Structure 1
Amino acid sequence: MLDCRVEGEEPITVTWLKNGKPVPIGVGTRATVLSNGTLLIQSFQKKRDGDSTDAGEYHCAAQNRYGMLVSRKARVHLASLPKFHTHPESMTVDEGGVARFQCQVNSIPEANITWEKDRMAISTSNERYTLLPMGILQITGVKKSDAGVFRCVATNIANTRYSHEALLNITGGAPRIYKEPVILSGPQNLTITVHQTAILECIATGNPRPIVSWSRLDGRSIGVEGIQVLGTGNLMISDVSLQHSGVYVCAANRPGTRMRRTALGRLVVQGDFLPYW
């Protein structure tokens, strides 16, 4: 259903167009214009042989004896959830180390990603497990009990899909052996719109466990309002503004020393431009 509300002197005639062409209305069609101007499409269709898809750009036009108004355009997509294009991969980690799994799927609308261990939903109350919305699972301070089979589950209104399974093996580590800090995964370049939430990943390993800190390359303060740390070092910025644009530096610091490893990612925040009328 697509709404089209108009104010003006009656009578007002409302017509609908898809991709610039009139939408067929009437007997034998699936589209109806309700008395309030709303377009109703019954049994939304994807493309078939000899038939066109209902997906596309729609807008309405309202006309009375004084003239015509044309609305902005609304794009209607067909919901989909194809197969995963990135599956989690099996890995072996020393006890006390860090594990990271990732899966990715392109879907309309964006799929909700959850994780399972041995085909049971992972408890979000476990502080050592961090689930990032872009399909990433981080496990810090791994224990023998973390060993098992992991997979991610993608769900939207179109379907539910399961990724390939990945095995996590835990070896008896030697925690007393010094290991330099290493950033397993640093922040990626990210472009979002104002008022959205930005999440910059940073997960590091080493012995002793490195301390993760964040800064901006231009020296400006990151601030504290709307800032949260997810897990042991991922940076979340809520309700971003244009001032949040910049290059962010994740640093993994060895405690008590100046030894550090860094990774950079650029955050671009775009304005929320109003559509034309």
Structure 2
Amino acid sequence: MLANDDFNSPSTACEMDLRVVVIYVILSTCGVSGVLQKGHEPPEFLHGSETKTSISRKGAILRLRCSVSANPPADVTWYRYDEEVVEDRKKIRMRVGLNHNALTIRDLDSLDSGDYICSASNRYGKITKTYTVSVVDCYLTDSQPLQPRAITVVPPKLQVRCGDTAVFKCNYKSDFNSHIQWLLEVPANSTSRYDPTSILSVHSKSYVVLESTAHNDDVLRLPNVTRAHNGKIVCLAANTFGYGYNSTVVQVLPQSGLPAFVDELEDLSVSTSAPNFTLTCVARVPLDLGYYLQWEKEGEPIDPEVFVFHHLNQSRVVDACVEEISSTMTISPLVQGHWLSAREGGQYNCLVQNKTGSTIMYGQATVTFQENANDNEASKSQSAIVSLTPRRVTVQEGDSVSIYCHVRGEKKPLFAWLVKPDTSVPVCDIRHTLLIDYISYRLVGSGETWSRDEMNHLNILQLDDVSMEHAGTYLCYVVQSGAREETTLTVLPRNVGPRVIAPFMGNRSVTVGENSVLQCRAESDNTPTVQWYKEVEEGYSDETRSLFGMAVVSLGFPDPVWETAGTYLSLYSFRDGVKVSDQGKYLCVWSNGGGQDYDQGYLRVRVRQ
């Protein structure tokens, strides 16, 4: 844990593998020769021209980087005391890239002290940088600490709204040049959101490096703060002799602001021959601030028990601070046993409200109706059901099914599909019911109609991803004539095996004596069992068996832990500390009546030095 008491404790480079070398540069520019052509440019250093000095400890590795921009590309040469530096595989290495050149010196000693010059030139000019290097013995006394110390972060606490800009300053004392790095502490349950290679581990805590838009590394500037910045931000100051750190606590508040409609509600003109009409309200609200949405007609709340056939609210995160809410409402008076009429017309409002000043916004839509009573009456006596297929169908959960209703009549009829639910299966929503011959049916929808000719019409009810709740008696109902036919749908449970899910076990490395836990997760439609195994050599014992092409020995059947709906967790703990003999490959095997799945990982055990 990063504790304030640790910030100024001595940490030397002799005790740690922290190699931070800050190079100070001397820049001198020579005269330009030649006439510049279009697109050409003389050499220019990419990382400043100020004069600096580097102090490195004896035995360390020193890297001098020289980044140059030029067109045509510059020739780069390293000099020491006017003599060209020659590469030596054991001590001196050179690395050349597109715009950079690096000089690496290994196993530093006092003879390596001095000035190192990077010379870059093309036909349009020549520039040089001088690196002054001093190599000292690694020492540390109470009266002369070398590593950064007295580190503070300003402000020590900060409240900032989502989307705003946050600025922090890291103050510290150091006798030598230091490098600053800003880190964000990542909660243990959130590390899976980041690239594993970007996560740093310090004192058993996980951190990621923050990118700043500030010009100086001792200032952290974060534009457009998000919820991910909520928590602890650490300033880590380091030089070649050690490091120190301190932190600030950030609380990200919801973005202030009022709801805003994405689109205005559109006026509708609906025929009374239509089975229903739909209104959609889309608004954007600040994330985490909360909101309230309600539909009204003529200023009064709409009773979903009376007119609403379908009402669905959905939301999605637009950016780090804003979410978009969408409410879809389908009006169908069939829930009261009649078709649409002019009385369903009028002024409809979508009301959206949040906590910012209790502001209320109204989106308005006017619905008008055109009567087609004569057409409906003329076709009423003509419409009759010719066939309904299939009359009985049995499917498994997850399958799809189509039910065809063939009607003969002079006018294209209006259809309604109703279902009398299977009483043995609990139904989540039974509010929208319609009484036909004293039998309660629930409205499913209107299907999709095709007219083969003026007299023959086909309506299809399509049910995808069938669940147990779909089981029941379905009724094809012709609104104009009242004609109806029934079919029975039986749904059988699908037996599916468990499925291993992320985060996976993976490979781990621990030290002897540590208390370690292996985790294994799976999804299952019913409660699974889990068994743990360890891979062993063939003939290890009488308990050895072959599993997935490996020789394994059983470690037991721990009870799985229910996490969320359909998700289970199993833990295998080394309660008395990990031993060297615990090293090896581990498997967890999930099973239920439908099959099995497994996860595996390798545990590497290090001996404590």
Structure 1 length normalisation: TM-score? Answer: 0.46
More strand by share: 2
Structure 2 length normalisation: TM-score? Answer: 0.24
Structure number with greater CO (CA < 8 Å, separation at least 6) is 1
Larger radius of gyration between Structure 1 and Structure 2: 2
More helix by share: 2
